[in-house]
Chains A and B, each alone.
Chain A
């Protein structure tokens, strides 16, 4: 794989001109934005970055942290957040084709999971043209731990950030 090295300034320039690609989790109902005045809308009042880093995607399902150990979470202590956003950027000149899935579980007072395995919240395929940011909304919040896994037939380097938000629905 040829890794493209760009400066932070160059990345910001590309961000300003590039539209955002979006992927929607399947098997999960996603609320769409609406311009109707009386529609309920989500009003975030606290936002936090839960994780930020880079992931080398290959043919194996890997956590954003790079491990293939399925029992390990990507983030923990995520209980207060009612929704999460995963946004990132894949370097390279080829179109992005990265599979991702979101797993979640709860823990007891000692931090031990209530049971084995994970609840699969949904999965998506990021398919954006080169030099585009992507964003995935994870509307099922208030789980204690999340494991975000990615894989790609073609090895890719993905820079991404996982954001948690607290908010409420207004009318």
Chain B
């Protein structure tokens, strides 16, 4: 005997691949992931800069991030020239001012890329790699240390 349900409040429909049984999830709330940043970093010049291109070491790249358990840094690099990265974080007080100057470095290394330095590459880093974040401000710094210049296109998603 086929399973039937009331569709559009008036017609009886058989359950099939084309007409599946409607299901409403009642016991959980959907929590969206938030896009915090989409920016292109110009890595044609050398020297350290954050993803927004700032060289002032006290300026955050991201602010108001205390609610996020983790950040995901997704990037597309036009070339895989050797590029270093440093991820720094700190907490702020109730007014949004940092507790002090400076930063806590939570990760650093060489930005993953293709084996061919001229090849493009999709990459992704979890911030932090292990454990949870819950920092208020982040500063994400990159520096091309060898090879040809390129544009680094970034997207950072906050996950609660």
Evaluate whether A159 and B17 lie within 8 angstroms (CB atoms) in the complex, with A79-B32, A79-B157, A109-B38 already known: yes
User: How far, in whole Å, are A133 and B35 apart by their CA atoms in the complex?
Assistant: 36
Q: Which of B30, B76, B159 contacts A115 (CB 8 A)?
A: B76
B contact residues around A113 at 8 Å (CB): 76
What are the interface flags for B2-19 relative to A under an 8 Å C-beta threshold, 1 for contact and 0 otherwise? 110000000000011100
Count of A interface residues, CB-CB < 8 Å: 30
B153 contacts the other chain (CB 8 A):
yes
User: How far, in whole Å, are A105 and B124 apart by their CA atoms in the complex?
Assistant: 10
Q: Which of B29, B72, B74, B78 contacts A46 (CB 8 A)?
A: B29
Residue of B nearest to A82 (CB): B159
Count of B interface residues, CB-CB < 8 Å: 31
What are the interface flags for B126-148 relative to A under an 8 Å C-beta threshold, 1 for contact and 0 otherwise? 00000000000000000000000
Interface residues of B in 41-80 (CB under 8 A from A): 69, 72, 74-78
User: How far, in whole Å, are A150 and B91 apart by their CA atoms in the complex?
Assistant: 46
| Extra pairs beyond A108-B38, A142-B72 (6, CB < 8 Å) | A47-B28, A79-B32, A82-B159, A106-B122, A143-B74, A159-B17
Interface residues in chain B, defined as those with a beta carbon under 8 Å from any beta carbon in chain A: 2-3, 15-17, 20, 25, 28-33, 35, 38, 69, 72, 74-78, 120, 122-124, 153-155, 157, 159
